[in-house]
């Protein structure tokens, strides 16, 4: 947990569920409540992490092995936490992050066949095991998510997002397993409906923290 200085909220889910939009709307909703919230993302969110983001998401499918990906994500996260997340929390700001450790557990862990214990060991080493106060897991049927991605990106997608449907089904399954195992931290939110409807569900999912 991040402690009492600030609240650390992460948004998770597969491709096309609307994390970035909902993260921005959550920041705006908190502002109307007088809460100063920082919006950030992974991979990225700091100078070093943004450089690693370019390495991770660009290039062809075989550019990195899944273990190399796990190491790169862990390195980016460590820099992000040290330079952006912890300083914000320390001065009482809320932090809203588009993806965090659960994405590594789903994409490089379960779907990539790296053991969850190994992913979490990297997180413990690089980021001292920092976990969110609340994780919002946005969920969509895979066919709906694929249609949203098509409308959003056309034929272009990054090297991870463009992987097979079977891979993304496994990602969704791992996210569900995490949510079921860590119900105190993780709240599942249905991402079907209008943007405003989903935003209302997200706010309900953090109501106990306000």
- The pTM for the full model equals 0.90
pLDDT of residue 111: 80
Taking the domains of the chain in order of start, what are their residue ranges? Answer: 8-209
pLDDT tens sequence across 172-181: 899 999 999 9
Residue 65: pLDDT over 80: yes
pLDDT of residue 2: 39
Task: With cut-offs at 50, 70 and 90, classify the pLDDT of residue 32.
Answer: very high
Average pLDDT over residues 183-192: 96
Task: With cut-offs at 50, 70 and 90, classify the pLDDT of residue 145.
Answer: low
pLDDT of residue 1: 40
Residue 12: pLDDT over 90: yes
Average pLDDT over residues 142-160: 65
pLDDT of residue 185: 98
Give a three-class secondary structure readout of the chain: CCCCCCCEEEEECCCCCCHHHHHHHHHHHHHHCCCCEEEEECCCCCHHHHHHHHHHHCCCCCCCCHHHHHHHHHHHHHHHHHHHHHHHHHCCCEEEEECCHHHHHHHHHHCCCCCHHHHHHHHHHHHCCCCCCEEEEEECCHHHHHHHHHHHHCCCCCCCCCCCHHHHHHHHHHHHHHHHHCCCCEEEEECCCCHHHHHHHHHHHCHHHC
| Architecture per CATH, 8-209 | 3-Layer(aba) Sandwich (3.40)
């Amino acid at each position: 947990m991040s402690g009492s200085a600030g609240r650390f909220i992460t948004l998770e889910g597969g491709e096309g569920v609307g994390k970035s939009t909902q993260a921005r709307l959550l920041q705006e909703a908190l502002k109307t409540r007088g809460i100063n919230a920082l919006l950030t993302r992974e991979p990225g969110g700091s100078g070093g992490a943004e450089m690693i983001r370019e390495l991770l998401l660009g290039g062809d499918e075989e550019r990195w092995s899944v273990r190399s990906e796990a190491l790169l994500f862990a390195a980016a996260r460590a820099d992000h936490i040290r330079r952006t997340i912890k300083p914000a929390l320390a001065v009482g700001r809320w932090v809203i992050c588009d993806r965090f450790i659960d994405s590594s557990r789903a994409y490089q862990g379960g779907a990539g066949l790296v053991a969850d214990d190994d992913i979490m060991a990297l997180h413990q080493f690089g980021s001292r095991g920092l976990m969110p106060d609340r994780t919002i897991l946005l969920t969509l049927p895979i066919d709906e998510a694929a249609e949203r991605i098509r409308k959003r990106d056309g034929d272009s997608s990054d090297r991870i997002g463009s992987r097979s449907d079977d891979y993304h089904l496994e990602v969704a399954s791992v996210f569900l397993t995490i949510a079921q195992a860590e119900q105190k931290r993780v709240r599942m939110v249905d991402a079907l409906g209008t943007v405003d409807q989903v935003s209302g569900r997200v706010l309900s999912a953090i109501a106990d923290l306000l």
